[in-house]
Amino acid sequence: MKRVVINDAISWWNRLLTFFGAGRRARDIDDEIAFHLAMRQAEHERAGLAPEIARRAAARQFGNVTALKEQTHDMWKFPSFESLVRDVRYAFRTLRRAPGFAFVAVVVLAIGIGATAAMFSLVDTMLVRGLPYPQADRLVVLIGNVQRAGGVERRGNSYPDHVDWRARATSFEDMAAFTTLNATLQGADEPEPIVGEAVSVPYFTLLGVSPTQGRGFTPEEDAVPNRNAVVILGDGLWRRRFGADPSVLNRTIQLGTRTYTIVGVMPAGFTGVSDTAQFWEPFAQSGAQFDNRGSRGFQTIARLKPGATITSARAELDTISRQLATAYPQTNDKRGVEVSPLADVVLQQLRPIVVALMAAVSLVLLIACANVAGLLISRSDARQREIAVRTALGAGPGRLLRQLITESCVLAMLGAVAGMAVAQISLPSLIAASPIAFPTFVQPQLSLRVLAFGIVMALLTGVLLGLAPMMHARLPRLSDALKTSARGGSSGMRSQRLRSALVIGEVALAVLLLAGAGLMIRSIQKLAAIDPGFEAANVLMVNATIPRQAAPPAAPGTAAAAPAPFVSSHADVLDRIRAVPGVEAVSLASDLPFGGSSAVFYSAEGDATVAAETMPRAYVHRVTPEFFATLRIRLEAGRTFLPSEERTDSQAVVVSHNVTRRFWPNQDPIGKRIKFGAPGSQNPWLTIVGVVDEVKYRGLPENPTRDPDLYLPYVDRATQGVIVRTRVEPSSLTSAVRAAIRNGNASILTFNAQTLADVVAQQSSASRFTGWLLSVFAATALVLSVVGLYGVMSYLVAQRTREFGIRLALGASREEIVRRVLRDGMWRVAIGAAIGLAATTGLARVLAGLVYGVGTFDISSLLAVVMLVVVAIAACGVPAVRATRVDPAIALRSE
């Protein structure tokens, strides 16, 4: 039988190889036969026949030339369409006669193929099709970095560096600077915070996206320091604010305190490289320090020239970086440029997740296949008699094989249709429910490619499943099969072995998936157990923008110019919030946890560090005195600020633990002095009045860098974070707190109200999302493998009814029978679990970057095994107990 399968496969392959050469083959056959006839004719002529007679004799000897040519050609043809239709119809008829089997098989395959197709459509949109730009693989992001003692850190670019790169580098078609902007959209009933991008002129052409109306920016509009108030709208903003007005060009829009002229509208779906932008301004309006080489923040996007590669571009920028470091050692020592494909930067976080999930889902499909293969094998055992009859009636082994494959393909196709339908319905809600943000261009849909993938998966599954029962079966002889005693023969033994192997495989895969889910859950627990250094529960956070009383004329190049008083002082804001019932404490900060702040270099009195790699650096926050109490950050030494210190010229500073550990490890740090910049700079010395614990203020599970934090007294400012500790559920105070901040003043803006607990949870959202999905897959795998085990055990018990009857009749106890059956099932489970457990060591690699604080071999892997064994005992136990219910008398008569 195995030989037949192999021969059939070879034949199909050979036919496939020449499928498109049919015309040539017809000519070849003509030539071949013409040669034969010519040779024969020549032979007859040599024997003395006249040419014409010789030709006729040769033809007669050959037979019907036309018919034979056709016959020869037919050898290469695939079985005809009619016979395929006949096979399919027969398959449907067979399946209808076994509806229970068909239903289970289709459902199991639907789960497997549906889940795989759903994940594939994610993989397809994100990893295969990639970014929605023409020739997106040539788009790269340039990010300035710095070599520090701890390694290379991403920093950002300065405008003079950007200008120099663009002028000197030859690997790129062009470069554009871009950065995100927050603005306040005025003019409607309530001002609205919106996000945009400041971009330099080549930005749009470089991405290959053109405005649907109007134009991109001109070099004049982007000239530094000229500040032209022009703006390009995103499609969404244009529809929302201007009702998709086709004559919107040259109209104006009020952003913050300035009025902008609209020069263009971008197409729908385009939200910039940041994937959040609703409008664009020239980069000259970004507020970057255009003449300060040391002020770094934005990123640069570039398009590689046709000949250039990432490697060559890196090499060139390395050279340029070295030139700049030599020319400007103050600002550019140890500075380099990272050149990364745009796709890597955009999809960085999602890629490992999608890959891990795709792997998991493929395992589920494998288990589903093993399951259905098991079902088909039992069925083919039961169908021995039918097959024997068909063989006796003249069906060749190839014909039978084709019938079986058609049957399983029909099953798989039905499964695929059902599965893909479920996938298409559930996928959008899955993405919507996902706590990790997918890029907006990821909108999986029933694309032709996903459809093709599903069909290919189904056919592949169908062929494999059709082969499975044939691999073990022998062609039954009619006489044997018709004799009832044929049961339990060698074919039965062999099918049992194959089914055991399938169950072992299923158990192994299920253990692997359960262990994977276990690792993720453990990692999530560890993430949740991290002490960030503050207490996240019962804290509400709101961003507020408070404008100055009279908008100054549009000429403020620097932030410190013309400070008109704010419409509401921070002391008033605090007082108003404190009066809200349920508020325990409140404070203001220049930046909120995980909201982003910038690093500065500082120096400690008496310390002479000068190397750029180890130059002390810290993150600076301006906070009100109650800040530490509100977040419950432990004060290690000294005190918080005094109200009297809340001035711009205050010289008090609170530092985090690592500052004192670095410079004054065994001394009292209170009264020591630090300053911003180099020790010799003109900045004033600041005196340490307090030391607090290190906090994970910038990221969980770890801050992106190990730099400490410096806290300075709060001074009135336009944008701030409000941190409120509540006695009640924090989100219930949201509207009360916002009202208290605004105090009826429409020009005060409050946005992004969130509880700190939610923000902390978002930090581990990728882990939780992956863990959740993986758990679903693992549960599916567990159910499927247990169903498979149950099927095998039931079959086994049913086959041995007679044996058990004899045993019981001979005085075996029921416990003994149960033990026997359990032992029979559990050795399969044991082998499978052992294999699965061994395979878990490979898990760490797949899940690398997704798990936190969990080793390769975790206790959860063992838990997975225990869980599986418990369920498996149940799956074996039911048939085992049934075995003991056998009435010996009936069992013995049952044959």
Partner 1 sequence: MGAQETRELLPGTLDMLILKVLSRGDMHGYDIASAIQRASDGVLGVMEGALYPALHRLEVRGWVRSRWGTSDNNRRAKFYRLSALGRRALDEEAAYWDRVAAAVSRVMQSV
Among 2, 21, 27, 32, which residue sits at the site for partner 1 (rule: CB under 8 A)? Answer: 32
Which pairing describes strands 652-656 and 686-692: parallel, antiparallel, or unpaired?
parallel
In terms of Cα–Cα distance, which of 704, 666, 665, 711 is closest to 690? 711
Neighbours of 538 (CB within 10 A): 19
> Residue 36 or residue 576: which is nearer to partner 1 going by CB?
36
Residue 81 C-beta: closest distance to partner 1, Å = 19
Q: SS3 of 584, please?
A: strand
Residue with tokens 């580098």: 169
In terms of Cα–Cα distance, which of 865, 858, 857, 843 is closest to 356? 843
> Residue 60 or residue 845: which is nearer to partner 1 going by CB?
60
Residue 72 C-beta: closest distance to partner 1, Å = 5
Residue 57 C-beta: closest distance to partner 1, Å = 10
> Residue 60 or residue 97: which is nearer to partner 1 going by CB?
60
Q: Show Cβ contacts of residue 101 under 8 Å, excluding neighbours closer than 6 positions.
A: 95, 375, 379
> Residue 24 or residue 634: which is nearer to partner 1 going by CB?
24
* Site size toward partner 1, by CB under 8 A: 30
> Residue 60 or residue 93: which is nearer to partner 1 going by CB?
60
Residue 354 tokens, joined: 């999608």
Residue 405 C-beta: closest distance to partner 1, Å = 18
What one-letter code names the amino acid at 78? F
* Structural contact between residues 659 and 587, judged by C-beta atoms closer than 8 angstroms: no
DSSP for 600-643 reads EEEEETT-----TTT--EEEEEEE-TTHHHHHTPPEEEE----G
Residue 36 C-beta: closest distance to partner 1, Å = 5
Helices of type H across 840-858: 843-847
Residue 6 C-beta: closest distance to partner 1, Å = 9
Q: Judged by CB under 8 A, which stretch of 34-42, 136-144, 278-286, 720-728 contacts partner 1?
A: 34-42
Q: Does 475 bind partner 1 (CB under 8 A)?
A: no
Q: Show Cβ contacts of residue 825 under 8 Å, excluding neighbours closer than 6 positions.
A: 789, 792, 793, 796, 872, 875, 876, 879, 880
> Residue 66 or residue 644: which is nearer to partner 1 going by CB?
66
- Give how far the C-alpha of residue 854 lies from the chain's centroid of Cα atoms, to the nearest Å: 20
> Residue 65 or residue 431: which is nearer to partner 1 going by CB?
65
> Residue 14 or residue 445: which is nearer to partner 1 going by CB?
14
Handedness of CA 750, 752, 753, 755 (dihedral sign): negative
Residue 817 C-beta: closest distance to partner 1, Å = 46
* Structural contact between residues 722 and 588, judged by C-beta atoms closer than 8 angstroms: yes
> Residue 13 or residue 81: which is nearer to partner 1 going by CB?
13
d(CA 12, CA 2) in angstroms, rounded, equals 15
> Residue 73 or residue 526: which is nearer to partner 1 going by CB?
73
* Structural contact between residues 867 and 782, judged by C-beta atoms closer than 8 angstroms: yes
Q: Judged by CB under 8 A, which stretch of 4-12, 238-246, 258-266, 346-354 contacts partner 1?
A: 4-12
> Residue 46 or residue 97: which is nearer to partner 1 going by CB?
46
Neighbours of 41 (CB within 10 A): 21
Among 1, 36, 582, 761, which residue sits at the site for partner 1 (rule: CB under 8 A)? Answer: 36
> Residue 38 or residue 149: which is nearer to partner 1 going by CB?
38
d(CA 685, CA 318) in angstroms, rounded, equals 37
Among 2, 14, 549, 552, which residue sits at the site for partner 1 (rule: CB under 8 A)? Answer: 14
Residue 146 tokens, joined: 């710095």
Q: Judged by CB under 8 A, which stretch of 23-31, 172-180, 191-199, 543-551 contacts partner 1?
A: 23-31
Among 22, 24, 35, 220, which residue sits at the site for partner 1 (rule: CB under 8 A)? Answer: 35
Q: Does 22 bind partner 1 (CB under 8 A)?
A: no
> Residue 7 or residue 569: which is nearer to partner 1 going by CB?
7
* Structural contact between residues 370 and 788, judged by C-beta atoms closer than 8 angstroms: yes
Residue 31 C-beta: closest distance to partner 1, Å = 7
> Residue 76 or residue 566: which is nearer to partner 1 going by CB?
76
Residue 490 C-beta: closest distance to partner 1, Å = 21
Residue 83 C-beta: closest distance to partner 1, Å = 17
Among 4, 5, 15, 127, which residue sits at the site for partner 1 (rule: CB under 8 A)? Answer: 15
Among 40, 303, 698, 742, which residue sits at the site for partner 1 (rule: CB under 8 A)? Answer: 40
Neighbours of 337 (CB within 10 A): 21
Helix (H) or strand (E) holding 132: none
Residue 18 C-beta: closest distance to partner 1, Å = 9
| Window 44-83: contact mask with partner 1 (x via CB under 8 A) | ----------------xxxxxx--xx-xxxxxx-------
Residue 559 tokens, joined: 């932030």
Q: Does 28 bind partner 1 (CB under 8 A)?
A: yes
Residue 43 C-beta: closest distance to partner 1, Å = 8
Among 19, 21, 39, 887, which residue sits at the site for partner 1 (rule: CB under 8 A)? Answer: 39
Residue 574 tokens, joined: 């605090």
* Structural contact between residues 347 and 439, judged by C-beta atoms closer than 8 angstroms: yes
What one-letter code names the amino acid at 281? E
Residue 23 C-beta: closest distance to partner 1, Å = 16
Helix (H) or strand (E) holding 19: none
Among 21, 22, 38, 890, which residue sits at the site for partner 1 (rule: CB under 8 A)? Answer: 38
Helices of type H across 700-764: 734-742, 756-763
Q: Does 10 bind partner 1 (CB under 8 A)?
A: yes
Among 1, 5, 11, 478, which residue sits at the site for partner 1 (rule: CB under 8 A)? Answer: 11
Residue 21 C-beta: closest distance to partner 1, Å = 13
225 preceded by cis ω (within 30°)? yes
Among 19, 31, 445, 565, which residue sits at the site for partner 1 (rule: CB under 8 A)? Answer: 31
d(CA 377, CA 498) in angstroms, rounded, equals 9
End-to-end Cα, the chain, rounded Å: 29
- Give how far the C-alpha of residue 672 lies from the chain's centroid of Cα atoms, to the nearest Å: 49
Q: Judged by CB under 8 A, which stretch of 39-47, 655-663, 687-695, 787-795 contacts partner 1?
A: 39-47
Residue 475 C-beta: closest distance to partner 1, Å = 15
Residue 16 C-beta: closest distance to partner 1, Å = 11
Q: Show Cβ contacts of residue 678 under 8 Å, excluding neighbours closer than 6 positions.
A: 601, 603, 610
Site residues for partner 1 per CB under 8 A? 7, 10-11, 14-15, 28-29, 31-33, 35-36, 38-40, 42, 60-65, 68-69, 71-76
